[in-house]
Chain A
Amino acid sequence: MSSIEAHASPPGVRARRLSMVVVLMAAAIAMALGRDMLPASLMRPPDWMILPLADWINAFFDFLRDDLGLLAVTRSVAGGVEALLDVTANLLYGKNRWPWLGPIPWSVIAVTAAVIGYALGGAKLAFLACGTFLWIALMGQWTWAMETLSVIVVAAPVSVLLGLLVGVAAWRSRRLAALLNPILNIAQSLPHFAYMIPVVVFIGVGPKAGAIVTIIFSVPPMIRMTLLGLQKVPDEVVESGKMCGATGWQLLLRTRLPTARTDILIGVNQVIMQCLAMVVLASFIGMPGLGQKLLQLLQALRIGQSVEIGLTIVLLAITLDRFTRAWALRQPVHVPRVMPWHERFRLPLIWLGLVTVAAGLSQVFPLLAEIGRVQGFSFGAAIDAVMDRVIVAIYPVTDWLHWFLIVWVFIPVRDAFLWMPFAAVLSLLAAVGYAVGGRRSALICVAFFGYIAISGWWDRTMITAYTVVVSVAIAAVFAFPTAIWATGNAVRSRRVLLVCDTVQTFPSFIYLIPMIMLFGANDVAVVGAVVLFAAVPLIRYTIEGIRGVPVALVEAAGMSGATRRQIRRHVLWPVALPTIMVGVNQAVMFSLFMVIIAAFIGTQDLGQEMQRALSSADVGKGLVLGLAVATIGLMVDHLIMKWASSVRPAN
């Protein structure tokens, strides 16, 4: 729709828009240049403008907790979750709870994973699954990994169920869907820490809090995919269901949901990925296992062992990702009833056999039941030694880079961001909004940053914005050439994409410590860590964008005599640009998340305040700060999406 708007808007509208852009831009420049003469109320939001939002939110939460007695409700919900967690904890790592059966020997779990892998995707998946659990066992991380999984196997299904229910409800009620959309948008751009503070207040700490924060964080994509899947179901399918005489519920359960199966399973996949992304962060409020261990090891600077844990998380993520993908792509098979039962249940029988053997053997050889930390084959010390060497060897380079970036790039850019009068920033954003999407976009931009002005965190937000801008710019400098190089051939691009996946799934905390060792606890280390995350979507979407250009188009250009450079400039880039811009959008989102985490290096931005809010369990402050981060993300998202849809050639 917007593409029609942009292309078909009459010349009068376009001229008016252009003049608004010029006026707003001129106003911004005038205010910036004449800042010495500007009244103080235009330099920074004046006191009367800043609303005590945090106090209001806190008052509201106090009301919920104390007057409405919500605490009793949340605590009893948490009690239910805890009961489930106790069962899985007993089975997986032998916590002293009902049903007192566990721990299941590691060999049994590895065999089970292999059989599931085989059932879903053949020998390849079986190897992957078995290999992952073998790695965990051999690295001596079994108990930690099972502590983590005991939470995930509860959190993920609950999240899927909740997402399905809400998704179906939103599909049935247009009004709910309309209400839900902005909430999901905000939820998906809120930094993780903002969620955790209310959870600590209402649920407490421990595995149950870890599970609940994981559920909250992973449910939005499930809701979205369920809704999307149901909306996509073709009318013909529903009609044929009706013709068979299905009632409303039957239509939903037997026709619509099965047809939307693939989308729903992609939602399941997303839920699992989000759960694994929360492993480390949730350990701040008591999630046991790998994440907690990772933070302890990092604290003692044992990077090598932290990397091993990081690899375990990546392997688990890859295995579960492949599992759910294989499941999503598989079409239901109809088993003829005439098959003899042992053939129909071939795999369950094989599984039963293998498990019996493994369980029996582990009774005889205890090493097959449990591998302790001591017997593990850790190579953490070797990683540490290599890293030490590297850090010392490249010290002259990093030292110079540190000096150069701080003195010539970071301090000037940061001062420029802080130097701008806030009214000039708003005016500038309004101009950008106008240029991209007309009055509506201009108003959206002003509203988003207007919130930041009244929240009282202007300077901090500017520092966050400066970090993100600098990081995305630096990431772009090497991400685009890397992506172009990678599109040279299919093998190369597959490898580069694999590296991207790994970098992204690797727990972000691990990057922080080596960055400090390389550059010191300062903005260079912060930007260094953020750049890694910003580069991943830039590379991925650029590769996908360029590879998505129709071959016929490139060939046609070649045949009309265009050189390779011309093809790249006039065909590849313009066609791929909308996809690449989606990558830029994602890069900004990832950077915002990472900047908040980089507060653990030492920053003076929103992240630092967020950390303070978490340690003082200040719900209001945490949410106000979280929304400030979310508004930056949402504004960039709006501008880029608007722009991309206006340049995408109308079909």
Chain B
Amino acid sequence: MTRMNMLMASAAVAAMTATIASADSSEPIVIPTHNWSSQIVMSHIVGQIFETAGNSVEYVSTDSQAVYESIRLGDVALGVEVWEGAYGASFDAAVAKGGLHSVGEHDAVTREDWWYPMWTKEACPGLPDWEALNDCAAIFATPETGDKGRLLGGPVDWLKHDQERVDALGMDFVVINAGSAAALWASLAAAERTQEPIVIFNWTPNFAEAVWPGEFVEFPAWETGCDTDPAIGPNPDATFDCGNPADGYLKKAAWDGMEGKWPTAYAVLTNVSFTNPQIAEMARLVDIDGMEPEDAAAHWLDQNADVWSGWTD
């Protein structure tokens, strides 16, 4: 095919996509999955909705930070869960390099902060207030932390500034970083068996809230600039003297080429929006009921037709 012909053909395709909705490329839409259940189920839900519209879909498991590089290069087409707290930085960095963009936010809000399971409250009744937590610091002590309390933080590369907060608020705590989310859950499960008080870094929406009911610690409320301006927050000399924002975004991301290649699927993706209870439900189906993610997705679509049928119009 000559260059001219190709140009004409692609112009024709472009014209067709503008008018006919079913002009999506027959190449599979590759959706990345990560290692937590709600994200996998949500990816399958979105994928199965695409399939009802005649698209072909494939899933590939990837690292949840490195994935933005893959979306940027078009190796995968989209991402369904971009957490402000956990992946905001990677996402923004990839956007700055070019190649992907946001396709709107879910209704769900995300929150990430210090958290404790309910049995902890019996040992430290003043909770969820952070000063009350600090007064009970001794019951959270472990051999590694001496007589100070232990906060089991997330992996260091989540960059959570917990230690800065401990210093800024003068708390009797030491931050010990777990190496993975699995390490957090394993520690929580172990503490449950002996009903030991524990305070960890946790987030919502998340399967853990269905398994272990609990509450976030209430720190001085987040104000914009708390992380950069010492004057903001109770301690006039320190930054990070406040809690994390309680309503972080949960975005969807798409490769820049997606709209041109699969316009219908792209339009569906912009409409997709889940709420916190829906996401927790997806996690529950897999983590508690033991369903396979693809079955859980089919089940959810079956039960919630009214929620998603509007997205495909």
Interface centre among A205, A287, A388, A403 (most CB of B within 10 A): A205
CB < 8 Å: which of B70, B178, B207 contacts A204?
B70
Q: Are B28 and A513 in contact (CB under 8 A)?
A: no
Residues of A within 8 A of B143 (CB): 402-403, 406-407, 522
Known: A96-B28, A204-B73, A516-B187. A296 touches B35 (CB 8 A): yes
**Residue interface mask A163-196, B partner, CB < 8 A = 1:** 0000000000000000000000000000000000
Q: Are B179 and A600 in contact (CB under 8 A)?
A: yes
Residues of A within 8 A of B60 (CB): 205-207, 286, 288
Minimal beta-carbon separation of A211 from chain B (angstroms) = 13
Query: Does A158 have its Cβ within 8 Å of any Cβ on chain B?
Result: no
Residues of B within 8 A of A598 (CB): 179
Q: A325 to B156, alpha carbons, bound, how many Å?
A: 44
Which of B104-112, B189-197, B233-241, B271-279 lies on the face that meets chain A? B189-197
Q: Which residue of A lies closest to B180 (CB)?
A: A600
Residues of A within 8 A of B35 (CB): 295-296, 299
Q: A175 to B144, alpha carbons, bound, how many Å?
A: 53
Minimal beta-carbon separation of B149 from chain A (angstroms) = 14
Known: A301-B189, A406-B144. A612 touches B156 (CB 8 A): yes
Residues of B within 8 A of A567 (CB): none
17 residue pairs bridging A and B, Cβ less than 8 Å apart: A204-B75, A205-B32, A206-B30, A285-B62, A286-B60, A288-B61, A298-B182, A299-B181, A299-B182, A300-B287, A406-B143, A512-B182, A513-B182, A516-B186, A604-B177, A608-B177, A615-B64
Minimal beta-carbon separation of A495 from chain B (angstroms) = 31
Q: Are A602 and B61 in contact (CB under 8 A)?
A: no
Minimal beta-carbon separation of A15 from chain B (angstroms) = 48
Q: Which residue of B lies closest to A303 (CB)?
A: B186
Query: Does B67 have its Cβ within 8 Å of any Cβ on chain A?
Result: yes
Q: Are B65 and A521 in contact (CB under 8 A)?
A: no
A-B contact count (CB 8 A): 142
Minimal beta-carbon separation of A14 from chain B (angstroms) = 47
Residues of B within 8 A of A601 (CB): 178-180, 183
Residues of B within 8 A of A283 (CB): 61
Q: Are B66 and A521 in contact (CB under 8 A)?
A: no
**Residue interface mask B154-175, A partner, CB < 8 A = 1:** 0111000000000000000000
Q: A302 to B186, alpha carbons, bound, how many Å?
A: 10
Q: Are A299 and B36 in contact (CB under 8 A)?
A: yes
Residues of A within 8 A of B207 (CB): 300
Query: Does B222 have its Cβ within 8 Å of any Cβ on chain A?
Result: no
Residues of A within 8 A of B32 (CB): 205
Q: A95 to B56, alpha carbons, bound, how many Å?
A: 11
Residues of B within 8 A of A615 (CB): 63-66, 157
Q: A402 to B145, alpha carbons, bound, how many Å?
A: 12
* B:187-221 near A, CB below 8 Å: 187, 189-190, 193-194, 207
Interface centre among B61, B69, B156, B207 (most CB of A within 10 A): B61
Query: Does A391 have its Cβ within 8 Å of any Cβ on chain B?
Result: yes
Q: A373-B295, A391-B193 are in contact. List 19 more A-B contacts (CB 8 A).
A: A204-B75, A205-B70, A206-B62, A206-B75, A286-B62, A288-B60, A300-B207, A301-B182, A395-B194, A402-B143, A406-B143, A411-B144, A516-B183, A517-B189, A521-B152, A521-B178, A600-B180, A602-B178, A611-B155
Q: Which residue of B lies closest to A283 (CB)?
A: B61
Q: Are A599 and B179 in contact (CB under 8 A)?
A: yes
Minimal beta-carbon separation of A8 from chain B (angstroms) = 51
Main SS class of interface, A: helix
Q: Are B194 and A616 in contact (CB under 8 A)?
A: no
Minimal beta-carbon separation of A294 from chain B (angstroms) = 10
Query: Interface residues of B, CB < 8 Å — how many?
Result: 52
Q: Are B56 and A284 in contact (CB under 8 A)?
A: no
Query: Does A520 have its Cβ within 8 Å of any Cβ on chain B?
Result: yes
Query: Does A271 have its Cβ within 8 Å of any Cβ on chain B?
Result: no
* A:227-256 near B, CB below 8 Å: none
* A:571-630 near B, CB below 8 Å: 598-604, 608, 611-612, 614-617
Residues of B within 8 A of A374 (CB): 295
Query: Does B292 have its Cβ within 8 Å of any Cβ on chain A?
Result: yes
Q: A601 to B75, alpha carbons, bound, how many Å?
A: 30
**Residue interface mask B284-311, A partner, CB < 8 A = 1:** 0011001010010000000000000000
Q: Are A513 and B186 in contact (CB under 8 A)?
A: yes
Minimal beta-carbon separation of B60 from chain A (angstroms) = 4
CB < 8 Å: which of A206, A395, A513, A523 contacts B193?
A395
Q: Which residue of A lies closest to B193 (CB)?
A: A392
> Which 8 residue pairs are nearest across A and B when measured between Cβ atoms?
A615-B65, A516-B186, A602-B179, A406-B143, A600-B180, A612-B157, A204-B75, A600-B179
Query: Does B10 have its Cβ within 8 Å of any Cβ on chain A?
Result: no
Interface centre among B37, B62, B189 (most CB of A within 10 A): B62
Residues of A within 8 A of B193 (CB): 388, 391-392, 395
* A:261-296 near B, CB below 8 Å: 283-288, 292, 295-296
Query: Does A200 have its Cβ within 8 Å of any Cβ on chain B?
Result: yes
Query: Does B22 have its Cβ within 8 Å of any Cβ on chain A?
Result: no
Minimal beta-carbon separation of B159 from chain A (angstroms) = 10
CB < 8 Å: which of B63, B69, B157, B287 contacts A284?
B63
Q: Are B176 and A521 in contact (CB under 8 A)?
A: yes
Known: A300-B37, A373-B292, A602-B176. A520 touches B63 (CB 8 A): no
Residues of B within 8 A of A600 (CB): 179-180, 182-183
Q: A604 to B70, alpha carbons, bound, how many Å?
A: 29
Query: Does B76 have its Cβ within 8 Å of any Cβ on chain A?
Result: yes
Interface centre among B63, B156, B190 (most CB of A within 10 A): B190
Query: Does B83 have its Cβ within 8 Å of any Cβ on chain A?
Result: no
**Residue interface mask A487-509, B partner, CB < 8 A = 1:** 00000000000000000000000
Q: A111 to B100, alpha carbons, bound, how many Å?
A: 48
Q: A598 to B290, alpha carbons, bound, how many Å?
A: 27
Q: Are B183 and A205 in contact (CB under 8 A)?
A: no
Query: Does B119 have its Cβ within 8 Å of any Cβ on chain A?
Result: no
